[in-house]
């Protein structure tokens, strides 16, 4: 499907990939509307891409080996055990992932967008009005523009999704992720407590923390990325429905103190220090959400990334799914003779994947946070069996692309 005007609402990872898809399939004009006026590369922390999914996305032209990355290999599971500084390892699972800095990934994708694409910052979209011939994008400043196709890459509060499915809203999953990064050269000793290629998972009743290395901002040096999952105290004030609030970020004194108390009670000393050495300005909280739109496209509107479906980070597939969505959209556009045909093909392939990843996230969340086993009683065989029963053997790290 060549020609026409295409709008992409949202200029983050999913939006950049979608804009690239539209440009490479011959759209006459591509406009990206990004509400943020600042530098997106300054946002986010670490993420990991499964080696097999990386190979697919490299072949699709979204990633390349020149981007800064760290190869990971093992996922040790660790419990507190007496005075052992780094805890006791109860089992190890394979972890064939490449880790990236979110900002560097976004910058790489942004640099791939052709110069002819109109990428507008500070351009907040208030609503999208679809009709048989396309859709009108209505901006917050009162201006309006018509397009032949609109791609919603605008995240969990997507205005494009609201135009199609107003009842498909993100639902709070019942717990939070506390997140942070620190320079690797600030790690406490001993060095053997945390091997370079490990994604160590410290487990406790009602939660866990995964820790792994990522490239530093702009590829300079190495950082340590940690994600700590637990249910917040009932007294915590969580502003999920405040449109002015970021999706998370409010690391209040109460939430910081609660995390610290959980670590004091359940963590080996080494891993407590890793978190406490983190600059508070580099820490935040992220609520867990679930959502899958009934369809990923309808008429002339398409949804990609978190606008289409949201799965909990336990799946190891958030960024992968966004890039895969864009890759499949590109293939559908290239092989179709109408907008509607292209988007029907896209929806048929990606909507089932979105639902499957959503369910995997819920299952892994129950197993690792909401209904945790007696970790201290487990050994290698028990960890492997538990992981398979939780669903980790199917779809963890993302589903393979078709064809």
Q: pLDDT by residue (tens digit) across 53-90? A: 999 999 988 888 889 999 999 999 999 998 899 999 99
Name the domain count of the chain.
2
CA distance 235 to 210: 26
Q: How far apart are the first and last CA of the chain?
A: 19
Which domain CATH number covers 153? Answer: 3.50.50.60
Is position 403 within any domain? Answer: no
Is position 122 within any domain? Answer: yes
b/e code 239-255 from CB counts within 10 Å (16+ = b): eeeeeeeebbeebeeeb
Q: What is the pLDDT of residues 220-260, one digit of tens each?
A: 899 999 999 999 999 887 776 544 444 456 788 999 999 99
Which domain CATH number covers 270? Answer: 3.30.9.60
If you search the block for the tokens 């901006």, which residue do you land on?
139
235 and 275 within one domain: yes
334 and 353 within one domain: yes
325 and 191 within one domain: no
Is position 300 within any domain? Answer: yes
164 and 61 within one domain: no
Is position 401 within any domain? Answer: no
Range of the domain at 332: 5-41+104-170+290-362
pTM for the structure as a whole: 0.95
Is position 69 within any domain? Answer: yes
Whether residue 44 is preceded by a cis peptide bond, meaning omega within 30 degrees of 0, is: no
380 and 356 within one domain: no
Is position 225 within any domain? Answer: yes
Is position 343 within any domain? Answer: yes
197 and 121 within one domain: no
Is position 190 within any domain? Answer: yes
274 and 312 within one domain: no
What is the average pLDDT across 166-175? 95
The pLDDT confidence band at residue 9, using thresholds 50, 70 and 90, is: very high
281 and 156 within one domain: no
Q: What is the pLDDT of residues 172-198, one digit of tens each?
A: 999 999 999 999 999 999 989 999 999
């Amino acid at each position: 499907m060549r020609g026409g005007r295409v709008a992409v609402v949202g200029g983050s990872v999913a939006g950049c990939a979608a804009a690239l898809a539209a440009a490479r399939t011959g759209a006459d004009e591509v406009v990206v509307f990004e509400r943020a006026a600042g530098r997106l590369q300054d946002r986010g922390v670490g993420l990991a891409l499964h080696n097999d999914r990386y190979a697919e996305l490299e072949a699709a032209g979204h990633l390349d080996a020149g981007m800064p990355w760290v190869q990971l290999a093992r996922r040790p599971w660790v419990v507190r055990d007496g005075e052992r500084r780094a805890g006791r390892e109860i089992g190890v699972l394979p972890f064939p992932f490449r880790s990236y800095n979110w900002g560097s990934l976004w910058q790489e994708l942004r640099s791939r967008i052709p110069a002819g694409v109109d990428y507008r910052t500070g351009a907040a979209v208030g609503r999208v009005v679809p009709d048989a011939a396309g859709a009108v994008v209505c901006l917050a400043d009162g201006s309006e523009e018509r397009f032949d196709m609109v791609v919603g890459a605008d995240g969990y509060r997507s205005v494009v999704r609201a135009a199609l499915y107003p009842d498909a809203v993100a639902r709070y999953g019942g717990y939070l992720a506390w997140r942070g990064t620190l320079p690797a050269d600030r790690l406490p000793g001993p060095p053997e407590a945390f091997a370079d290629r490990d994604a160590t998972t410290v487990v406790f009743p009602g939660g866990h923390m995964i820790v792994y290395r990522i490239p530093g901002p702009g590829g300079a040096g190495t950082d340590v990325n940690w994600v700590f999952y637990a249910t917040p105290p009932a007294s915590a004030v969580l502003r999920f429905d405040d449109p002015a609030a970021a999706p998370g970020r409010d690391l209040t004194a109460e939430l910081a103190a609660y995390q610290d108390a959980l670590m004091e009670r359940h963590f080996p000393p080494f891993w407590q220090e890793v978190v406490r050495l983190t600059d508070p300005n580099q820490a935040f909280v992220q609520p867990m959400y679930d959502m899958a739109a009934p369809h990923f496209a309808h008429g002339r509107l398409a949804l990609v990334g978190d606008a289409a479906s949201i799965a909990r980070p336990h799946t190891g597939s958030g960024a992968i799914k966004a890039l895969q969505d864009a890759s499949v959209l590109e293939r559908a556009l290239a092989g179709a003779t109408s907008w509607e045909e292209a988007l029907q093909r896209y929806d048929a392939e990606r909507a089932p994947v979105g639902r499957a990843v959503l369910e995997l996230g819920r299952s892994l969340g129950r197993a690792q946070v909401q209904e945790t086993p007696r970790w201290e009683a487990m050994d290698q065989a028990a960890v492997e069996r538990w992981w398979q029963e939780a669903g980790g053997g199917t779809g963890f790290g993302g589903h393979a692309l078709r064809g």
